[in-house]
Structure 1
């Protein structure tokens, strides 16, 4: 059995209504705007409304968020997986700016439109009158859980369950009509991932499974070797 990874939730492929129990890609970053240069805790220079975002260096990377210890299943038709996933990384939206402050939600909304996660004709979140709450643009949604989604396995081996996210990062420039510009960097994620691997078998070219194997399997196991 090769390592398997599956998407169990997609935040914002279409507009998604945010609920308290919804999985989201948040929890470990800066949930808000940085102070502008020269600002104080009491004085924050706000950027204009109606400015234009320009993005560069946008990338998507699968990040391991949790992995279980190895559980051995002997011959006899498989067995129940009982080892819990431990957190190794907490994903979180981070919006860092230099210059006049820009709303973190507006930055994430723009990034969501850039990568196709948010389908809207509105030029800005503040002007989106669809009545929809976009999970992707919410800088305070809860972090995804660590449930593996796998409860049993067939066959024998040394099994590891793991979880991850597809993280999106990018640099932006927000230009105002009057010439003032804000620059910054944003990070958030689009989907939760879940996987199961057997340390005794290669995980192929799956980078997330390889990270998990190297975090839990015995060094030199088949799963820890790059294909």
Structure 2
């Protein structure tokens, strides 16, 4: 009989997980057609304003991290499913409630988001590398944690069988890692900002008739799905 919430880690991006990044380039050639009688160019302002290229930070700066914190964020949840004596399979799918994404916000000379996330990944132990920077580590591979465009995993529900009666809720979430950074260069220039990304992809099931204990993800799910005042919401 399932009488307590269980959280399962479906796996994050993996410590030091890598994937080979292969690129291909293509050159496009545009043919210029010259019309007869078009023999001179007009002078004067064109009316177009070119955007200034961002000032790049030095390539050999040093990252310093502060206020690093870890939180669990609910990404999916099912409706309450009531099972009688003997239990049975859970059939309700999960709906998405949030879509956490990697992000890097910064002020100062430009530092690539991948470099910032590489440094954060090393700082929290998600990336196992002796390289000081991602550029130094560059051997034709990439780390999944450094992809600022990565999408949060889909909270796909699984059909689980419960061996007991209760009011059950399935839920999913990710573990978010974030912190403030300072990137300092030898010439005294600095870039400061904040970065965040997710690691573990987790799923779980709770019974609204049972206290969820210390699981923050289960407490978030209980607040959203269980009836106010039920055991799972007490202290949540």
Shift in Å, 1:168: 0.5
Does the 8 Å contact 2:93/2:158 carry over to 1? no
Gap change, CA 1:41 and 1:163, over 3 Å in 2 = farther
- How do 1:66-81 residues align onto structure 2 when only pairs under 5 Å count? 66-75=76-85, 77-81=86-90
Does the 8 Å contact 2:104/2:194 carry over to 1? yes
- Aligned: 1:54 with 2:60: no
In structure 1, list runs of 5 or more residues that go unmatched. 20-39
Shift in Å, 1:42: 4.5
Does the 8 Å contact 2:92/2:157 carry over to 1? no
Shifted more, 106-115 versus 136-145: the winner is 136-145
Match of 1:193 in 2: 202
Does the 8 Å contact 2:115/2:133 carry over to 1? yes
Gap change, CA 1:176 and 1:18, over 3 Å in 2 = same
- How do 1:1-227 residues align onto structure 2 when only pairs under 5 Å count? 1-17=3-19, 42-75=52-85, 77-226=86-235
Shift in Å, 1:132: 3.3
Shift in Å, 1:48: 1.4
Match of 1:31 in 2: none
CA distance in 1, matches of 2:20, 2:12: 12
Gap change, CA 1:149 and 1:134, over 3 Å in 2 = farther
Gap change, CA 1:192 and 1:41, over 3 Å in 2 = farther
Shift in Å, 1:142: 2.6
SS at match of 1:10: coil
Shifted more, 80-89 versus 47-56: the winner is 80-89
Looking at CA atoms only, which structure, 1 or 2, has the larger radius of gyration? 2
> Could you state the TM-score of these two structures normalised by the residue count of structure 1?
0.85
Does the 8 Å contact 2:16/2:129 carry over to 1? no
Aligned residues: 206
Q: Deviations over 1:111-164 (max 9, x none)?
A: 000011111111111111454321111111232111234522111111000001
> Could you state the TM-score of these two structures normalised by the residue count of structure 2?
0.82
Q: Deviations over 1:6-60 (max 9, x none)?
A: 11112132323379xxxxxxxxxxxxxxxxxxxx954322211111100001111
Does the 8 Å contact 1:93/1:188 carry over to 2? yes
